[in-house]
Structure 1
């Protein structure tokens, strides 16, 4: 009954739009104090949750994405993609997907992509005859590639919680991220066939060559970061630090960054990282309560009672993540559920890498789904449009993402092929 009351308290606070970290922290503390635990235990649990070497990569990857945004990398990728796709019907839709795919190798955050690219792409698309709803939908849904494609902040969190190789999880995420881009492109292809008013931009080899020079150095960033991780030269934390330094140098060379910009970038990084780590810490407090009350064991008994089939287990996990992702922040969901689901997956012989990729992708769909839908609110506030219009525009693009979840569930070896080839 005490756990039920705690969960009701969390739900009530979330409905009142209290920040997720505090919605978890308050009821968790009340439970501990009401059951005779000390405040010192709560502080130790919070400290231990964030004292993890793998999680140290999170602020560095956030810094990398912030430096890339301030260095104008998104603008360069956009100009190059636009030059390549100028004569293609519906080219701006494909450009939006391609730029998000390219920028995702550096940002790792859907929110960062939506904020950085939305301001550039949506006005351009509207100017060339694309409807606002479609423009919002393709840009918002394309932003979801970032937290799936490495370097992925949710993947770092899952790897730390599940004690799995971050490099292997990164490698396994590449194919699903590429499939996401392909699936979104199919939706664009179908949509533009019915839009006779779409105008092309024009094509020039000279423009392709000129803009192409501007993306050579930025596109070396994923080679350095992922090549270093997958090649065994860097840990993910070290790779994030090297990538951040490389992006800083690029920004200074391009004269988009100055030394005076650094304090602002560092403050942005600290604020974002602090928000994530506070969620990790508060969710770990609730996770301790679950452990004391044997919730993981009860959940394991329930799921194992329902099925002993690994495929059906993955279907249930995807459904749970899709539902939780619509109401709770993805980081909090991972912190709460990974310790509970990992033993069940092991019992059923489910590869933890497959479980991680499926959980992350399923949760990311929630970023475009009310009532939480962080990307929805970022797009809405950035472009001054109603949240509902963003959601209606994004709805058709959720179909291919749900289809990719099914691919992961029924063909897990498909996404494990790349880690196997790399010996991870």
Structure 2
């Protein structure tokens, strides 16, 4: 579709990031999958390796915004927010991130010269569409099922797992060894999340007993009555948190502290959850603890300092989107309420 355009592989990264986001929900998994396939191709066609890897990392974090997002599920459980609303509300910001990456990449490569692919024929495009059709139905099934009230978010996970397994068998991509790897990976991921959740619950309990959230509410109330100013302050704070803490632990630790503030200022907790996930996802591609950044660095075999130079244009566009969503919450709230 876009391989014949100047900088075409960059657009392939962005589109693939959007598609993978609807299938995975994990930024690290998406970045690893995209990087392993596309970084060697981009290097072979003389794309700048730092900039290309930066784009792949930036596209990888779209998966935590567009459903089915693992961090949004964690936030929904922690805050008692509707996971369906979180999923539906993440769609518009996710597409804004895609558009932002597209425009930045187009600007960066407006005068560059790379080897481009020959334009596909209609028959080749149709063959590619048929091959991808069944897997691409997965996010559609999840969204329609949640929107139509056919199943709950928990049931959506079961439906998605069964559908993915059946399609893998049909496409002959599932072997006994792969099934074993899938189960082991699930066990490890679940154990890690549960361990972090247990530790975070202890921290949250200690904070609650010390009445820190209520004292924080009284302190902030004495400074400003504006929900917008409060959101600015919290977003700046979370940007700093995201630089030194991974996304899910940050959600588990800080949501119980911030919830009383949100209620005191009548801020929609589903809207805030989406903003929090977007904000902390930026931390995944920001030094010094950017998990996704290290995944991209390892695949491309370049240093973090060099990769950071390649990723900063995409960080800037994400910061602009975050500012826009803070100033105009209706961009999230209106479609979220309509879709859910």
Quick one: distance in 2 between partners of 1:143 and 1:261? 23
Match of 2:188 among 271, 274, 281: 271
**DSSP-derived class of the 1:249 partner:** helix
2:120 aligned partner? 204
**DSSP-derived class of the 2:77 partner:** helix
CA deviations over 1:44-72 (Å, ceiling 9, x no partner): xxxxxxxxxxxxxxxxxxxxxxxxxxxxx
What TM-score do the two structures reach when normalised by structure 2?
0.97
| Deviation at residue 237 of structure 1 after TM alignment | 1.2
Correspondence list, 1:26-41, <5 A: none
2:96 aligned partner? 179
Match of 1:325 among 224, 242, 256: 242
Q: Does 1:334 align with 2:251?
A: yes
Q: Does 1:164 align with 2:75?
A: no
Match of 1:252 among 138, 163, 169: 169
2:289 aligned partner? 372
CA deviations over 1:22-64 (Å, ceiling 9, x no partner): xxxxxxxxxxxxxxxxxxxxxxxxxxxxxxxxxxxxxxxxxxx
1:100 aligned partner? 17
CA deviations over 1:198-217 (Å, ceiling 9, x no partner): 22111122321221111111
Q: Does 1:114 align with 2:60?
A: no
Structure possessing the higher radius of gyration over alpha carbons: 1
What TM-score do the two structures reach when normalised by structure 1?
0.78
Quick one: distance in 2 between partners of 1:307 and 1:106? 42
Alpha carbons 1:354, 1:408 under 8 Å: kept: no
| Deviation at residue 294 of structure 1 after TM alignment | 1.7
Q: How many residues align?
A: 339
**DSSP-derived class of the 2:150 partner:** coil
Q: Does 1:304 align with 2:245?
A: no
2:298 aligned partner? 381
| Deviation at residue 119 of structure 1 after TM alignment | 0.6
Quick one: distance in 1 between partners of 2:300 and 2:171? 27
Gaps of 5+ in 2: none
| Deviation at residue 339 of structure 1 after TM alignment | 1.4
Gaps of 5+ in 1: 1-83
Quick one: distance in 2 between partners of 1:273 and 1:393? 33
Name segments (4+ residues, structure 1) moved above 6 Å: none
Q: Does 1:355 align with 2:272?
A: yes
Q: Kindly indicate whether structure 1 or structure 2 has the higher relative contact order, using CA contacts under 8 Å at least 6 residues apart.
A: 2
Match of 1:133 among 50, 70, 74: 50
